[in-house]
């Protein structure tokens, strides 16, 4: 396992370098000059030159790229153009609210989706299966914005069960403000997850070992629990694990509409203000989380499925 992890980590290095190069080119060459947006339409050439020198944008491109690589390694992304705060501090402040929303939503969605996915797969073709599948498709067809507007108007404004928006940093008061966003997150994600888990289980029911188990006289429940469920956990666990690192970023729409000061709302504000350092930092963070999420998935895959070799 140790050798396997070292090999995987070494393989991640060129991937990170390639991703960093693409992000740097997109923001520094394709995205235009951010100095003109900061200086405004009436800035003089001298003011533009001073701003470019202040933020180090007048240096050669290879020097700027090396500085960007250093930022990735040291996790020091400089300061925001709009707020003048250190971006690292902004990220650390936003992680708490994002995880307060993401972790309960992720756990509830996963538990409910696995249970419902196994249930409808066991009763495949029956009324329960068809009803839940139709509800899943209906839920997937509605955009998150529809859930947000409906939830805020009905559950928060009309019934008063939840605050319309806002956030409290104290414990446990913060959970009062994330209750409705968590509920919406679960409703939005549940349909896709249930259908995915159902498909993963049904794919195993058509395998040769299942037909062999039935031919030996095992009852359907024992075949399902002892054989099908065990082998179908490989894609299920893989799908669950790959989502874990991405939870740090939270949900952009939910945080923005409910006034939760997490990483999602921070990114939306940076987009509105054309705050390129913050946008680049969040893009880099999301890319790194996805890369290491895939690495974690590979490791868990080898643990769950003994047929996969470490070599």
pLDDT at 108: 92
Per-residue pLDDT of the chain (311 residues; tens, 9 = 90+): 677 778 888 888 898 899 999 888 888 776 666 777 676 667 777 778 887 787 777 788 888 899 989 989 888 888 888 888 899 999 988 888 888 888 898 899 988 988 888 888 888 888 988 999 899 989 888 888 888 888 988 988 888 888 888 888 877 777 888 888 999 999 988 888 888 888 888 888 878 888 888 888 877 777 877 777 777 777 777 778 777 777 776 678 888 888 888 888 888 888 888 788 888 898 888 888 888 888 887 777 777 666 666 55
Report the residue count for the chain: 311
Residue 172, preceding peptide bond in cis (omega within 30° of 0): yes
* Residues in contact with 151: Cβ distance below 8 Å, sequence separation at least 6, in sequence order: 162, 180, 183, 184
User: Hey, CA dihedral for 225, 227, 232, 234, is it positive or negative?
Assistant: positive
pTM, entire model: 0.80
Is 87-272 a domain of CATH 1.10.3720.10?
Answer: yes
Residue 297 DSSP one-character state: H
Strand partners, 86: 79
CB 163 within 8 A of CB 177: yes
**DSSP conformation letters of 167-234:** ---STTTHHHHHHHHHHHHHHHHHHHHHHHHHHHHHHHHTSHHHHHHHHTT--HHHHIIIIIHHHHHH
Helix (H, G, I), strand (E, B) or coil at 251: coil
CB 252 within 8 A of CB 267: yes
């Amino acid at each position: 396992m140790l050798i396997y992890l070292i090999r995987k980590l070494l393989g991640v290095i060129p991937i990170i370098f390639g991703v960093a190069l693409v992000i740097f080119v997109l923001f520094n060459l394709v995205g235009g000059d951010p100095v003109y947006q900061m200086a405004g339409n009436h800035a003089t050439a001298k003011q533009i030159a001073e701003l470019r020198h202040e933020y180090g944008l007048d240096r050669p491109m290879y020097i700027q790229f090396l500085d960007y690589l250093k930022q990735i390694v040291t996790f020091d992304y400089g300061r925001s153009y709009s707020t003048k705060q250190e971006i690292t501090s902004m990220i650390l402040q936003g992680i708490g609210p994002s995880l307060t929303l993401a972790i309960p939503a992720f756990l509830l969605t996963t538990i409910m989706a696995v249970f419902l996915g196994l249930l409808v797969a066991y009763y495949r073709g029956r009324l329960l299966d068809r009803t839940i599948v139709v509800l899943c498709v209906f839920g997937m067809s509605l955009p998150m914005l529809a859930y947000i507007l409906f939830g805020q108007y009905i559950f928060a404004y009309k019934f008063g069960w939840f605050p319309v928006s806002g956030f409290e940093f104290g414990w446990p008061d913060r959970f009062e403000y994330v209750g409705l966003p968590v509920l919406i997150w679960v409703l939005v994600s549940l349909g896709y997850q249930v259908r995915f888990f159902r498909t993963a289980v049904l794919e195993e029911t058509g395998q040769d070992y299942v037909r062999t188990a039935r031919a030996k006289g095992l009852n359907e429940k024992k075949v399902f629990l002892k054989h099908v469920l065990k082998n179908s956990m490989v894609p299920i666990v893989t799908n669950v694990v790959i989502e874990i690192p991405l939870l740090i970023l939270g949900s952009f729409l939910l945080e923005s509409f409910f006034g939760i000061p997490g990483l999602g709302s921070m990114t939306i504000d940076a987009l509105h203000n054309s705050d390129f350092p913050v946008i680049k930092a969040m893009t880099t963070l999301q890319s790194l989380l996805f890369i290491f999420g895939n690495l974690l998935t590979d490791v868990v895959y080898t643990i769950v499925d003994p047929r996969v070799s470490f070599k």
